[in-house]
Amino acid sequence: MFLRRHERSKDGKPHTYWSLVETVRTADGPRQRTLCYLGELNGSAQARWLKSIEVFNEQGESRQLKLFPSEIEPPEDDSAVARVRLDQVRLERSRRFGDCFLGLELWRRLELDRFWEPLLDRPEDRADVPWSRVAALLAINRLCAPGSELAIEERWYPATALDDLLTIEDGKLNDTRLYRCLDRLLPHKTKLERHLARRYGELFAAEFDVLLYDLTSSYVEGAAEKDPMLRRGYSRDHRPDCKQVVIALIVNVDGFPLSYETFDGNRADVTTLETVLRMVERKYGKARRVWVFDRGIVSEDNLAALRRRGGQYLVGTPRAKLKQFERQLLEGGWEQVRPDVEVKLVLTPQGEETYILCRSTARREKEQAIRSRFSTRMEKALAALAKRVAAGRLKDRHKIERNLGSIQARHPQVADLYQVTVTEAGGRLGLDWKHIEGRQTWQRAREGAYLLRTNLPAADPETLWKSYIQLTEAEAAFRALKSELSIRPIFHQLERRAKAHILVAFLGYALWVTLKHLLMRKRSALSPSRALVLLSSLVSADIVLPTTDGREIRLRRVTTPSAQQKRLLDQLGLAIPDRLKFDHECSADSAIA
Give the tens place of pLDDT for each residue, 31-63: 777 766 666 644 443 343 344 444 444 444 555
- The chain-wide mean pLDDT, for the chain, equals 85
Other C-beta atoms closer than 10 Å to the C-beta of 50 total 24
- pLDDT at res. 49: 37
Q: What is the pLDDT of residues 222-268, one digit of tens each?
A: 888 889 999 999 888 888 899 999 999 999 999 999 999 999 999 99
pLDDT band for 72, please (50, 70, 90 cuts).
low
The C-alpha atoms of residue 371 and residue 357 are separated, in whole angstroms, by: 21
Q: Is the pLDDT higher at 494 or at 73? A: 494
Residue range 174-191: average pLDDT? 94
Lowest mean pLDDT among 20-34, 90-104, 190-204, 439-453: 20-34
**Domain-wise residue ranges, the chain:** 2-88, 314-460
86 three-class SS: helix
CA atoms within 13 A on the CB side of 576: 23
pLDDT band for 206, please (50, 70, 90 cuts).
very high
Cβ atoms of residues 233 and 244 within 8 Å:
yes
pLDDT band for 70, please (50, 70, 90 cuts).
low
pLDDT beyond 70 at 118: yes
CA atoms within 13 A on the CB side of 229: 19
Other C-beta atoms closer than 10 Å to the C-beta of 388 total 14
- pLDDT at res. 71: 58
- pLDDT at res. 585: 37
pLDDT beyond 80 at 462: yes
pLDDT band for 482, please (50, 70, 90 cuts).
confident
403, containing H or E segment: helix 397-410
Closest listed residue to residue 554, CA positions, set 592, 587, 593: 587
The C-alpha atoms of residue 151 and residue 145 are separated, in whole angstroms, by: 10
DSSP 73: P
- pLDDT at res. 342: 92
Q: What is the pLDDT of residues 407-428, one digit of tens each?
A: 999 998 888 889 988 888 877 8
- pLDDT at res. 107: 97
- pLDDT at res. 472: 85
Cβ atoms of residues 243 and 231 within 8 Å:
yes
Residue range 477-490: average pLDDT? 86
As to burial, measured by CB atoms within 10 angstroms (0-12 exposed, 13-18 middle, 19+ buried), residue 437 is exposed
- pLDDT at res. 584: 40
Cβ atoms of residues 555 and 592 within 8 Å:
yes
591 three-class SS: coil
- pLDDT at res. 113: 95
pLDDT beyond 50 at 126: yes
Q: What is the pLDDT of residues 84-108, one digit of tens each?
A: 888 888 989 899 999 999 999 999 9
The C-alpha atoms of residue 94 and residue 163 are separated, in whole angstroms, by: 13
- pLDDT at res. 48: 39
Residue range 328-351: average pLDDT? 85
Cβ atoms of residues 66 and 58 within 8 Å:
no
- Would you tell me the crossing angle of helices 131-144 and 112-120 to the nearest 10 degrees? 140
Give the CA dihedral 274, 278, 283, 285, nearest 10 degrees: 110
